Amino acid sequence: MGLSRLNRIIAVIALIFAVFYGWNYLFDARRPPCYTVDVKYFGANIPSSNDVEDFSIKPFKIPFERSQVDDMIDRVRKTRFYEPQILVDNRNTNKSTYGFNRQTAESIQDYLINTYDWKKTVQELNNFDHYKTNIAGLDIHFVRITHNSERNEKKDAILFLHGWPGSFLEYLDVARLLNSSTINNYDLIIPSLPGYGYSDAPVRAGMSPIQIARIMQSLMQRLGHSSYVVCGGDWGAIIGTNIAQLYPGHVRGLLITMVAPALTWKHYIHLALAHYINPSILLDYDEQEYLGKRFDASQYLKFMWQEGGYFHLQATKPDTIGYALNDSPLGLATYILEKWSRWSNTQNDVDQSMNSGLDRFTLDQLLSNVMLYWTTGTITSSMRLYFEYFSSILSGHDNKILNGPLAASVPVAIINYRNELAYLPRTITRAKYPNIKLWVFHNSGGHFASIEKPQEYYRDVEKFLLQL
């Protein structure tokens, strides 16, 4: 009798669990995720309820000041190089063991003093249409490139989002290619993130990627686009993901070159099994071919240990390093260009190259990006994004969106480049991005692919658009 009663109790409990998990699977698990974002103001003067918001979009020209250039050259000429240098033996010590190579830095010093022409760069950049509009108390800068077609003709709107230590310059070559396309008619929007380049820097705390996502959605709405495609790498990939999470009904598609999902214990177990037992536990055949014979997590952890110091510094004390970088143009150049070198090359590429692997770009491309930070004085405000992102993780306030997936209605393209900072297996990536329409492998290219490989990037964008 007692056993029968126990069986009934167990049966009732089992039924309750079955109903609960069945309901969750059939309804809650399939329900599109719903995320929210706090509305924050980042300008100096908080408007009153009676103030009328300024929705105007104003033309903007990049300024050129000769005094800025003269001051920069004077500072570069007076650079105090460190002494002594560590001797290279090619066994225990190579050209980049201790950081950015001294000889490369000296060649950049010479190029800045004797060759580089910022005035010419400004003139070329001003051939594009630049604008500013005020959102959340900040003047947001953007470039707009569009066909001169009939007003009512349908245009595919594409929002390009850069990262750090990049800028809107990264997407100009791709935009030129898209604008010359005979397949589609585009409206290309390339903003500077808040605190970068010609966009205002926040004077109030809390400018996280999620807040930038809200600002970018407002920008696209203001430009008349209720539906658009988002393309991004680095912070642009994270912000683009947040836009797709918050506004899935407005995002026609998301194309990213770097995946940054929230890993669960299940994923860590998968990674460990793939590393210690067999990669096929986690990786599809084409992924194994792409990555090589061995999926070596320990090598990746070693790489991140060597390359991740900047992240910890900028996520904890960005203003401290900001004093040095905002005061020394050559210091700023080496700090930024080390990332462009290391994030676009293998260790061997860096050490065998005459100029630390920077030959994947022209010096004018590299130094124009550096000068953008220097002339606007935005290196410190740009690095604060790391602090805000890390703070949002630690606070737990945004855990739902940070750890949650996109709605299955948002098509996604993942473009993988050989020398990108990280590769995340397709199986794990799907947990964050359930509707992957395009998964591409490139055997060259790195973190700054849109400027390093503009032709390939352009072709992938068009290929993705054809699937939408």
Residue with the larger pLDDT of the pair 415 and 268: 415
Query: Is the pLDDT at 258 greater than 90, yes or no?
Result: yes
Q: What is the mean pLDDT of residues 14-19?
A: 58
250 is a catalytic site residue = no
Residue 1 binned pLDDT confidence (cut-offs 50, 70, 90): very low
pLDDT at 231: 98
Among 116, 228, 247, 386, the active-site one is 386
Q: What pTM, to 2 d.p., does this model score?
A: 0.91
Least confident range of 87-91, 149-153, 361-365, 400-404: 149-153
List the structure tokens of 222: 């203001």
Tokens 């750090």 appear where?
A: 164
Using DSSP's 3-state secondary structure scheme, residue 133 falls into strand
Q: What is the mean pLDDT of the chain?
A: 90
List the structure tokens of 327: 């005061």
CB neighbourhood size of 82 (10 A): 9
| Per-residue pLDDT tens digits for 230-249 | 999 999 999 999 999 999 99
List the structure tokens of 376: 């606007």
Among 234, 373, 417, 457, the active-site one is 234
**CA angle centred on 254, ends 445 and 226, rounded to 5°:** 140
Least confident range of 32-36, 179-183, 213-217: 179-183
Distance of alpha carbon 157 from alpha carbon 162, whole angstroms: 17
Task: Please give the share of the chain, as a percent, with pLDDT higher than 90.
Answer: 69
Q: What is the mean pLDDT of residues 41-62?
A: 89
Give 415's DSSP letter. Answer: E
Cβ-contact 233, 260 below 8 angstroms? no
List the structure tokens of 140: 């947001």
Cβ-contact 98, 88 below 8 angstroms? no
pLDDT at 276: 79
Distance of alpha carbon 24 from alpha carbon 136, whole angstroms: 38
Among 447, 457, 458, 460, the active-site one is 447
Beta-strand runs (E) in 206-344: 228-232, 251-256
Cβ-contact 405, 33 below 8 angstroms? yes
270 is a catalytic site residue = no
Distance of alpha carbon 291 from alpha carbon 296, whole angstroms: 9
Query: Is the pLDDT at 406 greater than 80, yes or no?
Result: yes
| Paired strand residues for 414 | 256, 439
Tokens 């070596």 appear where?
A: 296
447 is a catalytic site residue = yes
